[in-house]
Structure formats: structure tokens, C-alpha cells
């Protein structure tokens, strides 16, 4: 073979040898991309390597929903091959299988897979679109990946639909209203999706939004959220833009897709950029969420009293009388030099400026650290803000 292949392990004779080609999707001196069938399940195959006597093919299982995503240019081709079990089969020049293996697609060499950011060729997509037509209505579609189940379990479906609706509402309210800590009733009502009808095949649900303009905005925000993929830096930017509530709901949805081996796709006339998510992609995004973070810095002006203060250790704890909030952290060097001692207790009231650094991570609660930037005993002099 022309490429360096990983150790493919024990040959799996018989497995995959019953593959039957349904449609040739691309040809160049022979078939290059095919749609095949094995035990009633569709497989997408690409000719990955060849030598004088053999052609090596890689086949990945694909659902009808994933084929619709491939046909619509929603799913990149390589994504379909990054699955725990793909087939590697060598064929002779009479197209007879010689040997085969079952491998993890992520273990394959980069050059043995389709290019990272490439979609199927236009001609291939047109053939798939004829075989797996898309709907002209606004849809949310679900597909069960596992072949051990004849359909989608009700529990998995109800969880997926419920968390998707809650994510939709949170995205709709991710601006000023969410920042105030609550959702307006109007937002909840306008972002509610209504079931209209279902179709045969994948569970394709026709939905009717109450506010079509808001639906378009939320669809765009959702597509941008998914587009950051496994990039921790871009995910951190999404944290800044949408806030921790959206990321919390998003994490719930990804976990459900991963746990129940579900696929989801949103498409329709109100969706400029359709979205397709499967369990493998959900798993990669969840991994990026563990690393993603966003840091916010702001200052708080407060009046109250010190619980502890040490200029030697440069540590303090302060209680804000109005909010009953407590700040515990480091003392700025300028404050420590000008305040060797500070009276502790409720009898001495101070006005302070506290710098707050807030780190947002989707994997846990926000973390805050505090730094005392200024402290003045009330009735003694004016409090000056730090430069």
C-alpha cells in the first residue's frame, strides 16, 4: 500500500464481505466513493489506498439522517468516518474482497481519510439528495445510531426534545434578559416550538415557531455555537457571547446525544445554516468544553466592615452591608502600604473598591477571585478610585 497504515489487528473475515454496493457516488478510473449496504444498514465507502494488486476501501456506517446531512453539505465527509467501528476492506481488481478489519476511525492515518474540511463532491451530493430528499418545511429530526434498538427509546427522545426546547429558550434569552437572571414570559412564549406532524423514516418533526423572526435569530446562534466544534479558544468566545446558562443547556444536549447514541438535525426555510450533530461530534465538543473558559474583570464599590485584614499576609475578608455579599482575597500592594492596620468588626465602617475576576467554565460553577484595590474608613476622607 502507498500509505502508512496503523496496525489493523486481527483480520475479520466475513465481516463486511456481505457489503452490497447500492450507488456509485463518484468515479475516477473506477469507483472512488460508493453507498453500500450491510445487513440492512447503509455504509459510505471511499477508496483510500491501492497497490498493483489490491484496492483498500474504508466503509463507515451512516444513518439516513446523516446521509441527508451529507447531501445538504451540512456534514463534512471526514466526520462520517470518525466512528468507533469502521470497516477496512481490501479488494482485488475483480472487486472480490480479500481481507477485512474493523477499526476505530480516529486511529486511521490522516491521509487515509477524506480531507478535513471537505464536503462530498457536488455530483455525489446530488445523487444522495435524490435518494434521501430534504423537506421544504421547518424540521427537527432525530435518528437512533445504535443498531441494537429498533427505534428511539421514548425516554431518550423525551429527554432530547425537552433539553432542546430549554436550550432554544435560553438562546433566545441569552442577551440582556438572561443577564438580569430571569427570562421574560414573552421570551419563553415566543421561543416555544410547537409539534405539527411527524414523517416516516427518521423521526422528522415539523415544528412551527410562534415568532419566526426570533426563530431565525436563535437558529443562527445555535449554528454558531456548533460551528466552534472542538476548538477550546472559540468555545471560550462563545462563553463570552452567550453566557454560562446557554453553555449549561448545550452541555446537557450533547451529553444526551452521546449517552443515547442519537443524531439531531435542524433544517428548513427559517434556518440559513442547518445543523447536524451526532454522538462522536458531541463527544469532541464536550471535551473542548472542559478546557474552554472565559475571564471577566470588573470592580465593585461596597460599604461595610472588615471581618479580617492582614497587611503582612496581604489577605482580607470584607462584608458588604447592602448586598450581604462577602469578599475574601488578596490585598493590593498600594492598599497594604497605606493601611498597615485596619479596624476589624462592625464598629468600623469602610468604603472599599474590590476588583473581581470571574472565570466561567462550562464544566463547573463560575469561579471568582477578589483583590482589595482601595479602602477608606467612612467619615474620614473621600474614597478614591484606583487609576
Domain ranges of the chain: 20-131, 139-292, 295-377
Task: Please name the CATH architecture into which domain 295-377 falls.
Answer: Beta Barrel (2.40)
* Pairing state between β 275-277 and 294-310: unpaired
pTM here is: 0.72
Q: What is the pLDDT of residue 77?
A: 95
Burial class (CB in 10 A: 0-12, 13-18, 19+), 213: exposed
Rounded to whole angstroms, the Cα distance separating 24 from 26 reads 6
Q: What is the pLDDT of residue 259?
A: 92
Instruction: Dump pLDDT digits (tens) for 246-259.
Output: 888 898 999 999 99
Burial class (CB in 10 A: 0-12, 13-18, 19+), 252: middle
Residue 130 is inside which H or E element, if any? helix 122-131
- Nearest Cα to 278, choosing from 218, 226, 228? 226
Instruction: Dump pLDDT digits (tens) for 275-292.
Output: 999 999 999 888 877 766
Residue 100 is inside which H or E element, if any? strand 97-103
Residue 172 is inside which H or E element, if any? helix 154-172
Q: What is the pLDDT of residue 386?
A: 47
Looking at the DSSP assignment, which residues form a beta bridge with residue 271?
Answer: none
Rounded to whole angstroms, the Cα distance separating 102 from 11 reads 8
Q: What is the pLDDT of residue 2?
A: 63
Segments of the chain with pLDDT less than 70: 1-16, 146-150, 175-188, 194-202, 230-233, 236, 239-240, 291-294, 360-365, 380-387
119-131 exposure pattern, b = at least 16 Cβ within 10 A, e = fewer? bbeeebbebbbee
Cβ pair 361, 292 in contact under 8 A = yes
Q: What is the pLDDT of residue 9?
A: 63
106-116 exposure pattern, b = at least 16 Cβ within 10 A, e = fewer? eebeeebbbee
Q: What is the pLDDT of residue 27?
A: 92
Q: What is the pLDDT of residue 308?
A: 96
Rounded to whole angstroms, the Cα distance separating 301 from 226 reads 38
Amino acid at each position: 500500500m502507498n500509505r502508512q497504515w496503523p496496525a489493523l489487528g486481527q483480520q475479520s473475515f466475513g465481516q463486511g464481505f456481505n457489503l452490497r454496493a447500492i450507488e456509485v457516488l463518484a468515479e475516477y478510473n473506477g469507483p472512488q466513493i460508493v453507498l453500500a449496504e450491510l445487513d440492512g444498514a447503509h455504509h459510505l465507502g471511499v477508496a483510500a489506498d491501492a497497490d498493483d494488486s489490491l484496492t483498500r476501501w474504508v466503509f463507515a456506517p451512516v444513518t439516513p439522517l446523516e446521509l441527508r446531512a451529507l447531501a445538504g453539505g451540512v456534514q463534512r465527509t471526514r466526520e462520517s468516518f470518525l466512528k468507533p467501528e469502521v470497516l477496512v476492506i481490501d479488494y482485488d481488481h475483480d472487486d472480490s474482497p480479500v481481507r477485512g478489519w474493523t477499526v476505530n476511525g480516529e486511529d486511521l492515518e490522516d491521509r487515509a481519510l477524506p480531507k478535513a474540511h471537505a464536503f462530498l463532491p457536488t455530483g455525489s451530493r446530488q445523487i444522495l439528495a435524490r435518494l434521501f430528499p430534504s423537506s421544504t418545511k421547518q424540521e427537527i429530526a432525530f435518528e437512533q445510531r445504535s443498531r441494537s434498538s429498533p427505534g428511539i427509546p421514548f425516554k431518550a427522545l423525551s429527554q432530547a426534545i425537552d433539553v432542546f426546547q430549554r436550550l432554544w429558550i435560553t438562546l433566545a434569552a441569552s442577551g440582556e434578559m438572561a443577564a438580569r437572571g430571569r427570562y421574560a414570559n414573552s421570551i419563553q412564549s415566543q421561543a416555544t416550538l410547537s409539534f405539527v406532524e411527524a414523517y416516516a423514516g427518521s423521526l422528522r418533526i415539523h415544528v412551527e415557531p410562534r415568532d419566526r423572526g426570533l426563530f431565525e435569530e436563535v437558529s443562527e446562534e445555535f449554528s454558531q455555537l456548533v460551528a466552534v466544534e472542538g476548538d477550546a479558544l472559540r468555545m471560550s468566545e462563545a462563553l463570552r457571547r452567550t453566557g454560562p446558562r446557554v453553555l449549561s443547556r448545550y452541555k446537557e444536549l450533547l451529553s444526551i446525544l452521546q449517552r443515547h447514541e442519537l443524531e439531531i438535525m435542524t433544517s428548513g426555510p427559517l434556518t440559513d445554516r442547518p445543523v447536524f450533530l451526532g454522538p462522536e461530534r458531541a463527544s469532541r465538543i464536550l471535551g473542548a468544553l472542559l478546557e474552554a473558559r472565559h475571564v471577566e474583570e470588573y470592580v465593585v464599590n461596597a460599604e461595610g466592615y472588615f471581618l479580617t485584614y492582614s497587611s503582612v499576609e496581604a489577605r482580607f475578608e470584607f462584608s458588604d452591608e447592602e448586598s450581604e455579599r462577602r469578599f475574601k482575597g488578596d490585598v493590593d500592594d498600594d492598599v497594604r502600604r497605606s493601611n498597615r492596620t485596619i479596624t476589624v468588626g462592625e464598629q468600623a465602617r469602610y468604603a472599599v473598591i474590590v476588583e473581581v475576576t470571574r472565570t466561567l467554565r462550562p464544566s463547573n460553577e463560575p469561579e471568582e477571585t477578589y483583590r482589595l484595590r482601595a479602602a477608606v474608613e467612612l467619615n474620614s476622607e473621600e474614597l478614591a478610585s484606583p487609576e
